[in-house]
């Protein structure tokens, strides 16, 4: 039987309004050497979510460690409330690695959000780590160009910097414990030559998608970085242990 899913959008909004008071946008004050890239994929028919956290060197832009968390999901996607859907699988994947990361980079917006509390801010506050939002599309605000730099602006506030040329570009906004300028600088430096997405979130995206094929019962042909990963399983997906082990992914 499918478990009940209770989710109140109005209560979620209230939680955001409460938690956003914790956000600090002060300077990072260091040169970050590692970033933890976060993303999630879903096997919708099974109602299963896959959260991936990839610790990435900002010197080499190569992955150095990876955690996967898989669980049933039931919260719907509602624009502005993305975090409530993704955090359930993203946070458990991220917590063991976040102490080792200088900054957390999340697929989605930071303060470039209607209530200034996108998923990257939410993650930063929860993990108490500096965080950056990297989104492929704009959620709120308008585009303004200033001195050759394009910003997302709302109510006179600069919320995000556009890195690259959309749709082959990303909107970068601070999540927590970092400034807009620093967030943009870190994200830009994490884009490989010829690439358009910063490596930490790009790697998290690729790995979570690779694991999704296993969840769907398909065979993972080969993806070199999955061997770096270890997975943990939430309630209701214990039957995935075999296929994951067979694909070379350690299960804790």
Binding residues for Mg(2+): 39, 107
Distance of closest approach, residue 26 Cβ to DNA, in angstroms: 21
* Residue 80 makes contact with DNA by CB under 7 A: yes
Which of 68, 70, 81, 190 is close enough to bind DNA by CB under 7 A?
A: 81
* Residue 72 makes contact with DNA by CB under 7 A: no
Measured distance CA(80)–CA(33) in Å, rounded:
31
* Residue 234 makes contact with DNA by CB under 7 A: no
Q: Which residues contact 217 (CB under 8 A, 6 or more apart)?
A: 243
Which of 23, 28, 36, 41 is close enough to bind DNA by CB under 7 A?
A: 41
Measured distance CA(49)–CA(37) in Å, rounded:
17
Q: Which residues contact 208 (CB under 8 A, 6 or more apart)?
A: 39, 40, 41, 50, 51, 52, 68
Q: Let me know: does 201 contact 105? Beta carbons within 8 Å.
A: yes
Which of 72, 136, 188, 225 is close enough to bind DNA by CB under 7 A?
A: 136
* Residue 22 makes contact with DNA by CB under 7 A: no
Q: Which residues contact 241 (CB under 8 A, 6 or more apart)?
A: 233, 251
Q: Please tell me the count of residues contacting DNA according to CB under 7 A.
A: 32
Measured distance CA(187)–CA(168) in Å, rounded:
14
Of the candidate spans 136-144, 219-227, 232-240, 242-250, the one that interacts with DNA by CB under 7 A turns out to be 136-144
From 191, 250, 201, select the one nearest 226 (Cα to Cα).
250
Which of 51, 92, 118, 130 is close enough to bind DNA by CB under 7 A?
A: 118
CB-nearer residue toward DNA: 57 or 225: 225
* Residue 107 makes contact with DNA by CB under 7 A: yes
CB-nearer residue toward DNA: 199 or 205: 205
List, in sequence order, every beta strand (DSSP E) within the chain.
Answer: 34-43, 48-57, 63-72, 103-107, 131-135, 142-146, 149-154, 157-165, 168-176, 229-233, 250-251
Of the candidate spans 29-37, 38-46, 64-72, 96-104, the one that interacts with DNA by CB under 7 A turns out to be 38-46
Cross-strand bridge partners of residue 48? 43, 72
Which of 51, 133, 198, 200 is close enough to bind DNA by CB under 7 A?
A: 133
* Residue 43 makes contact with DNA by CB under 7 A: yes
Residues 201-230 touching DNA, rule: CB under 7 A, are 205, 209, 212, 216
The site for DNA (CB under 7 A) is made up of: 39-45, 77, 79-83, 86, 107-109, 113, 118-120, 133, 135-140, 205, 209, 212, 216
């Amino acid at each position: 039987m499918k478990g009940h899913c209770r989710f109140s959008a109005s209560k979620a909004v209230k939680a955001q309004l409460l938690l956003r008071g914790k956000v600090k946008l002060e300077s990072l004050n260091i040169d970050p050497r590692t970033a933890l890239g976060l993303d999630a994929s879903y096997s919708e028919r099974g109602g299963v979510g896959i959260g991936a956290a990839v610790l990435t060197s900002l010197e080499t832009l190569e992955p150095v460690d990876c955690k996967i968390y898989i669980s049933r999901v039931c919260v719907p996607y509602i624009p502005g409330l993305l975090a409530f859907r993704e955090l359930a699988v993203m946070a458990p994947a991220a917590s063991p690695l976040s102490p080792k990361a200088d900054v957390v980079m999340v697929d989605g917006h930071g303060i470039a959000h209607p209530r200034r509390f996108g998923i990257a801010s939410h993650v930063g506050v929860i993990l108490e780590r500096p965080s950056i939002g990297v989104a492929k599309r704009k959620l709120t605000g308008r585009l303004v160009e200033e001195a050759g730099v394009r910003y997302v602006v709302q109510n006179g506030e600069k919320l995000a910097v556009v890195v690259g040329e959309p749709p082959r570009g990303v909107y970068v906004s601070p999540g927590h414990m970092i400034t807009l300028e620093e967030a943009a600088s870190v994200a830009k430096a994490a884009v490989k030559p010829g690439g358009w997405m910063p490596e930490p979130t790009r790697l998290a995206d690729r790995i979570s998608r690779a694991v999704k094929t296993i969840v769907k019962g398909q065979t993972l042909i080969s993806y070199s970085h999955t061997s770096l990963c270890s997975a943990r399983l939430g309630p209701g997906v214990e039957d995935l242990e075999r296929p994951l082990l067979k694909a070379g992914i350690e299960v804790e």
